Amino acid sequence: MIVRSKAPLRIGLAGGGTDVAPYSDIYGGAILNATISMFAHATIVPRDDHKIVLYSIDNNERYEYDSMEQLPFNGDLNLLKGIYNRVVSDYTGEPLSFELSTFVDAPPGSGLGSSSTLAVTVLGAFAEWLNLPLGEYDLARVAYEVERIDLKMAGGKQDQYAATFGGVNFMEFFNENKVIVNPLRIRPQYLNELAHNLILFNTRTSRLSSQIIERQSQNVINQHEITIEATHKLKKQAVMMKEALLKGKLDQIGEILDFGWRNKKLMAAGISNSVIDKIYQTAMDNGALGGKISGAGGGGFMIFYCPNNGRYKVVNALKKFGGIAHRYEFTRNGLTTWSI
C-alpha cells in the first residue's frame, strides 16, 4: 500500500498580515489569496518493522527512529515530527511504523506558504492512511495548531486554509481562532487574464519570516499607531481586491497591489530592504502597475501586475537581479489524497 497527498502553494493577493495574532484577535482580519500550480507532496509507505523513516527529498535529509508515541523535537524535520506526534496523541493512541517522504516545489522562506502547505499535505496523508475524521476546517485547524502551538512557529492563519481548500478565497479571521473561508466564483476569463498579467518573480533570496512576524506582532501589542493603521488599510485592501476580481475590474488590480505594498512596508522593520526596493522600482519603471512581496517579506517571491503584454518587458528588466519569473496557473482544488 502507498498513500500519497499533495496540496497547492498560494499567492497572497491582498490583506497579508491581518491574519496574524494579536491583530486578528483584536480587530479581525481579512485576506484574499489564490492557490497556484506549485505543490507540496507527501508519500507514506506503511512498515511492519517498528521503525519510522522521515525523508525530505528536496532538502536531502533522512532520519530513522524506533517506533514511538512521540518523536523528539531536535531541529531535524520537526514539522513532520509535529504532525506525527499530534496524530498519535489525538487519534491513534499508539505508535505507528512507516516511511514518510516529502517534496515541496518551493523552498522554505519563499513566501508562498510552503511550510504550512507541507504541514497540511503530511496531515492529509495520515488522514488518508488512517481514515481520520477530519473535514476541511478541522484539518486546517490541526495543521495550524501543530505549527503555532506545538512547535511555536510564528505565523498567521491563512496558509493552512488556502492549502486545504484551494482556489480563490476571501478569508475572514476572528478572535478565538475562528476562520471563515469564502470561495470566490471568479469568471474563468478574469482568472486567466490575471495569471497572464501577474508575474511571479523568484528573487532567489530567502528570509526567516518568524522574525518579521514577531516584530509585527510586538508592534500591535505595543499599540504602535503606524503599524495598526497600516494593517487596517491592508484589511481594506482585501475587500477592494475581492470587488475588483468579482466584477472583472482588472485594470484596478495594479493600483490595489501598490496601495497594499506601501502600507505593508509600514507594519514592521525588515519587510522590505534596498534590494527589494530596487526590484520593485525597476518593475514599475518598465510598465508594472503595482506589486508586492509574497508572504511576510524580507525576500522570497514577489508579484507584479503588468497589463496587456507588458510582462515581457518587465521580466527582461528584472534579469539583472539574478532572479527568475515562474510560469504558473491558478488551481481550483486544494488538498488531494489517494491510495494505491
Which residues are the active-site residues?
Answer: 159
Spatial neighbors of 189 by CB under 8 A, at least 6 apart, are: 248
Question: Which secondary-structure segment (H or E) carries 127?
Answer: helix 114-130
DSSP string, 39-78: EEEEEEEE-SSSEEEEEETTTTEEEEEE--SS---SSSSH
Residues in the chain: 340
Rounded to whole angstroms, how far apart are CA atoms 217 and 223? Answer: 10
State whether the Cα torsion 257-258-264-265 is positive or negative.
Answer: positive
Cell of 230: 497600516
Closest CA to 174 of 32, 296, 22: 22
Strand 179-183, strand 301-305: pairing: unpaired
Closest CA to 172 of 59, 28, 46: 28
